[in-house]
Amino acid sequence: MKQLLLILLSILFIQEIKAKSYEGYKVYKLKPENINHDKIIEYLQEDSIFYFLDEGQIESGKPIDVMIEQQYQNYFENMLEKNKFKFDVLVDNVEKVLEQERLDQRLTRTSGLGQVTFNSYMYYSEQMAYLHRLGRDYPEIVAILKLGESYEGRDITALRLSSGPSTDPSKTKPVIFIDAGIHCREWIAPAVALYIIQQLVENPQNALFYQNVDWDIVPNLNPDGYEYTQREDRLWRKTRRPNPNQPNYCMGTDLNRNFDHYWMYAGASSNPCSEIYAGPEAFSESESRAIRDYFLANGETIKLYLSFHSYVSMVLYPWGYASTLPEDHEELQRLGELAADAIHRSTTINSRYTVNTSTLALGPGAGGSDDWVKGVANVSLAYCFELPHGDSPFPFLFPARQLFAAVRETFEAIKVYHQYIENKFWNNNNQ
Ligand SMILES: *[C@@H]1O[C@H](CO)[C@@H](O)[C@H](O)[C@H]1NC(C)=O
Ligand SMILES: *[C@@H]1O[C@H](CO)[C@@H](O)[C@H](O)[C@H]1NC(C)=O
Ligand SMILES: [Zn+2]
């Protein structure tokens, strides 16, 4: 026993040494007020010493968060002051906040293998053990599907929940497809997907939710990145596939710029070092291809697509490539507002969502999964669901102690979506 403890301690110790340190890094909130300021932001974006944090999307006149390491801070602040560019310091030392999160993680880790927890963030292996346990315990309703593999060979796993094929030969059951974790540092997203799974499968009160509607849920679409954020670099966003002739910190592709719908049209980068690098070509990543192949094989039955991200509290819908509105934007807006209202009614952490197209809310970002699902796979109702940031000083680090409140309120939105899909595609009530 003592030996085991020593081994465990030394593993923790080694991880700590290997992890990338953000000692002395600051996060600034920039408040652009004129075209000159916008130009400065554009210029900074091309330089990898500036980490842009708001989903990488920039819109003229909107405040934006950027993280910078210590050695450039004086130069940076002087430059801002010379240009009368206003800013706040959001986080004084990023490493301090990360340390606190690691501590919280260790204190609250409770789950045994095969269990789920919402007091802390689970490892990918624990998430998968939970799904497989559900597959064994609920074989009548749960199937575990492998949609593909990540670059490093981890399974891209979906849980399929169904009470069986339709008994009415005149109609097929609509499917709700959910994924989470495209951006691996947004840890709250897989947690929300796991809570949806837990509530649907394990809470008998929710059995009606899978009577007439089937569910496919992929709780972790970027497992390589997720493990990397758990063990090495908390703030990694992209995949982990190396780019030829690039240094380590320029690895990976932004999955949410890698889908083949107006690929690289706007708000995406061809620079491998950029956080919004779209990849060498559309669908260059096995993770985005896994989604593509599943939709091309099952597209007609899928009626709703939800992709969970964080941290700006927004229900977003296509288009993300340009400010054009889709034909059915009124329906997308209305359904998004119903979902947001359900959260507002039940929130205990003061979540305030807005609803809009991605481009109008955040600026363009072509190649997003929701754009492709709507534009190519023909699933009309597609959303990018931006979860809140809670009261963490650093927006990505949604505090574990608020996690249960966040997953619970988000499930209220899921109920709304379910009811809408069941009414429209099973009961055939046009709404
Ligand atoms: C969407 O965003 C645009 C640009 O900020 C704004 O003018 C518009 O009112 C927003 N739409 C909704 C429905 O809030
Ligand atoms: C989507 O709709 C278009 C236009 O009707 C059609 O050409 C295309 O084959 C459809 N795509 C899929 C995946 O069904
Ligand atoms: Zn994201």
325 touches ligand 1 (CB under 6 Å)? no
* Peptide bond preceding 319 in cis form (omega within 30 of 0): yes
What letter does residue 277 receive in the DSSP assignment? B
User: Would you say residue 386 lies in a domain?
Assistant: yes
Is there a domain that residue 197 lies in?
A: yes
Are residues 137 and 206 both part of a single domain?
yes
- Does residue 193 sit in the same domain as residue 319? yes
Same domain, 135 and 278: yes
What is the whole-number distance in angstroms between the Cα of residue 182 and the centre of ligand 3? 7
Query: The tokens 């669901």 sit on which residue?
Result: 385
Protein residue with its CA nearest to atom 12 in ligand 2: 377
170 and 272 fall within a common domain: yes
Provide the pLDDT for residue 32. 92
Q: Is the CB of 356 under 6 A from ligand 1?
A: yes
Residue 69 one-letter amino acid = E
Q: Which of 423, 377, 421, 414 is nearest to 198 (CA)?
A: 414
Q: What is the pLDDT of residues 395-422, one digit of tens each?
A: 778 999 999 999 999 999 999 999 999 9
74 and 223 belong to one structural domain:
no
123 with 51, same domain: the answer is: no
- Residue 357 CA: nearest ligand 1 atom is 1
Where residue 43 sits, what CATH number does that domain have?
A: 3.30.70.340
Test site for ligand 1: of 325, 329, 360, 362, most ligand atoms within 8 A of the Cβ: 360
- The per-residue pLDDT for 404 is 96
pTM check: above 0.85:
yes
Is 5 within a domain?
no
* Final residue belonging to a domain, choices 43, 62, 92: 92
Does 408 fall in a domain?
Answer: yes
385 and 321 co-located in one domain = yes
In the DSSP assignment, the letter for residue 391 is T
Count of C-beta atoms within a 10 Å radius of residue 376: 15
Is 255 within the bounds of a domain? Answer: no
Estimate to the nearest angstrom the gap between the alpha carbon of 167 and the chain centroid: 36
Q: Tell whether 101 is covered by a domain.
A: no
The pLDDT score that the predictor gives to residue 16 is 46
Helix ranges (DSSP H) in 357-402 = 358-362, 369-375
Q: State CA 285 to chain mean position distance.
A: 17
Mutate which of 328, 378, 380 for ligand 2? The one with the most ligand atoms within 8 Å of its CB, which is 378
Q: Is residue 16 part of a domain?
A: no
- Distance (angstroms) between ligand 1 centre and the Cα of 330 equals 13
Cα–Cα distance measured from residue 181 to residue 320, given in angstroms and rounded to the nearest whole number: 18
Active site residue ranges: 386
- Tell me, what CATH number does 178's domain have? 3.40.630.10
Q: What CA–CA distance (Å, rounded) separates 383 from 305? A: 6
How does DSSP classify residue 350? Answer: -
Give the helix/strand (H/E) hosting 304: strand 302-310
Identify whether residues 199 and 134 lie together within a single domain.
Answer: yes
The owner of tokens 């490892």 is 123
Whether 360 lines ligand 1, by a CB cut-off of 6 Å, is yes
pLDDT at residue number 13: 46
Report which secondary-structure segment, H or E, holds 143: strand 142-149
Domain of residue 189: give its range: 110-233+262-425
Q: Do 85 and 151 share a domain, yes or no?
A: no
With a cut of 70, say whether residue 5 has pLDDT above it.
no
Atom of ligand 2 nearest to the CA of 377: 13
Cα(205)–Cα(407) distance, integer angstroms: 17
Q: What is the pLDDT of residues 27-72, one digit of tens each?
A: 999 999 999 998 898 888 777 788 887 665 566 678 888 999 999 9
Same domain, 421 and 275: yes
Residue with tokens 């849920």: 217
As for how many domains the chain has, the answer is 2
End position of a domain, from candidates 58, 92, 126: 92
109, with CB counted inside 10 A (0-12, 13-18, 19+), is: middle
Q: Is the CB of 346 under 6 A from ligand 1?
A: no
Residue 192 Cα to ligand 3 midpoint, Å, equals 14
Q: How confident is the model at residue 248 (pLDDT cuts 50, 70, 90)?
A: confident
The answer to whether residue 410 is domain-embedded is: yes
Is 67 in the same domain as 143? no
Alpha carbon distances (Å) from 144 to 64, 98, 114, 325, 331: 40, 34, 14, 36, 32
131 — alpha (psi -120 to 50), left (phi > 0) or beta? Answer: alpha
The answer to whether residues 136 and 270 belong to one domain is: yes
